Homo-oligomer: A and B are copies of this chain.
Amino acid sequence: MKVVVRAPSNIAFIKYWGKKNEKLRIPANSSISMNLSDAYTETSVEFKKILSDDLVIIDGKKIDGKEKERIGRHLNLIRKMARINFFAEVLSKNNFPKGAGIASSASGFAALTLAGVKAAGLNLSEKELSVLARLGSGSACRSIPDGFVEWKKGSKSSDSYAYSLKSPEYWDIRDIIVVVGEKSKKVGSTEGHKEATSSPFYKARISEMDKKIADIKLALKNKDFTKFGRIVEEEAINMHTVMMTSKPPLFYWLPKTLEIMQSITTWREAGLETYFTIDAGPNIHVICRSKDVRKVKTKLEKIQGVKKIIINRVSKGARIVK
């Protein structure tokens, strides 16, 4: 049986950086995100008796080496649960550039998880799917449930999962991805996570996390955009400064990233209320209210060096397409 799944990427408002358990991808702190309507992966999985190895094609390119191994290990988890031993044909397409700070591993592993599980004939709960997706790529667990999501750090594998805080319809805020670099990252986030604890600021960061999570959940509950945005921006800077002070330092920002961050601050001072966040890559995510989307887009289009603008609504999580 071939199953096709579409899974959204997600943008974290409270970030995931550093793990309590490396192998099981149990994070040092809980995180909060929204799923993205216009940055997604579509993946089909079919287990086939005829195959002598997993066949993985992403964006039309046959995948080998470490990337394929990681996917193979994830398929093994599914094969083990379903007690099947066929190899799989995995066809996957991203509608956004890979490895540039839009979490392709999040949408990718969420889609692979749901498609693989269904193709293997398993019936898992949303929570079980989220746990399984997490084992493939931490932030993938947040792309399983709908809308605004909390990934509870948990204390063991079975209770470290994401669930929906609010549906996509709850609050119409937008995430405008501003692509300024399409290069694959020098240091991927899996490697980056290992370095997190080498920052002298890491402990102080982690010690504030419970409060930040509580604060942003309250802002979300109250639809308090100003409070929400301030927390989001402060948190993005906090994570990136932990990265910059790691040993060796990790710099994900490009000069253009900093330019746009500073533009957003200037726009805000002039009355256009937007905030930024940035994942482990150079691209900016501009968070704004739906009423301001057009204005923000016009401003962004005028900035030289902006390669692509992707406007996202809040989206459902991973779902079967056919």
Please classify the interface of chain A as helix (H, G, I), strand (E, B), loop, or mixed, using the class held by over half of its residues.
helix
Q: Which of B200, B205, B262 contacts A238 (CB 8 A)?
A: B200
A259 and B255 form a contact (CB under 8 A): yes
B208 and A204 form a contact (CB under 8 A): no
B204 and A203 form a contact (CB under 8 A): yes
Complex alpha-carbon distance, A255 and B255, angstroms: 4
Q: Which residues of A contact B (CB under 8 A)?
A: 200-201, 203-205, 208, 234, 237-238, 241, 244-245, 247, 249, 251, 253-256, 258-259, 261-262
Closest partner residue, chain B, to A249 (CB atom):
B237
Closest partner residue, chain B, to A254 (CB atom):
B258
State the 7 A-B residue pairs at the shortest beta-carbon distance, nearest first: A241-B241, A255-B255, A201-B201, A255-B259, A255-B258, A200-B204, A204-B204
Complex alpha-carbon distance, A237 and B249, angstroms: 9
Closest partner residue, chain B, to A262 (CB atom):
B251
Complex alpha-carbon distance, A262 and B258, angstroms: 13
Can you name 29 A-B pairs with beta carbons within 8 Å? A200-B204, A200-B205, A200-B208, A200-B238, A201-B201, A201-B204, A201-B241, A203-B204, A204-B204, A234-B245, A234-B247, A234-B249, A237-B244, A237-B249, A238-B245, A241-B241, A241-B244, A241-B245, A251-B258, A251-B261, A251-B262, A253-B258, A254-B258, A255-B255, A255-B256, A255-B258, A255-B259, A255-B262, A258-B258
A253 cross-chain contacts in B, Cβ below 8 A: 258
How many identical subunits does the complex contain? 2
A204 cross-chain contacts in B, Cβ below 8 A: 200-201, 203-204
Report which residue of A204, A241, A247, A262 has the largest number of chain B beta carbons within 10 angstroms of its beta carbon. A241
Complex alpha-carbon distance, A200 and B255, angstroms: 25
A241 cross-chain contacts in B, Cβ below 8 A: 201, 241, 244-245
Report which residue of A201, A204, A251, A256 has the largest number of chain B beta carbons within 10 angstroms of its beta carbon. A201
A237 cross-chain contacts in B, Cβ below 8 A: 244-245, 249
Complex alpha-carbon distance, A256 and B262, angstroms: 13
Known contacts A201-B241, A237-B244, A238-B245, then 5 further A-B pairs from the complex at CB < 8 Å, ordered by chain A residue: A200-B204, A200-B205, A204-B204, A251-B262, A255-B262
A254 cross-chain contacts in B, Cβ below 8 A: 258
Complex alpha-carbon distance, A134 and B234, angstroms: 33
Complex alpha-carbon distance, A241 and B239, angstroms: 10
Complex alpha-carbon distance, A261 and B254, angstroms: 11
Complex alpha-carbon distance, A249 and B204, angstroms: 17
A259 cross-chain contacts in B, Cβ below 8 A: 255
Complex alpha-carbon distance, A261 and B253, angstroms: 11
Complex alpha-carbon distance, A174 and B133, angstroms: 53
A234 cross-chain contacts in B, Cβ below 8 A: 245, 247, 249
A258 cross-chain contacts in B, Cβ below 8 A: 251, 253-255, 258
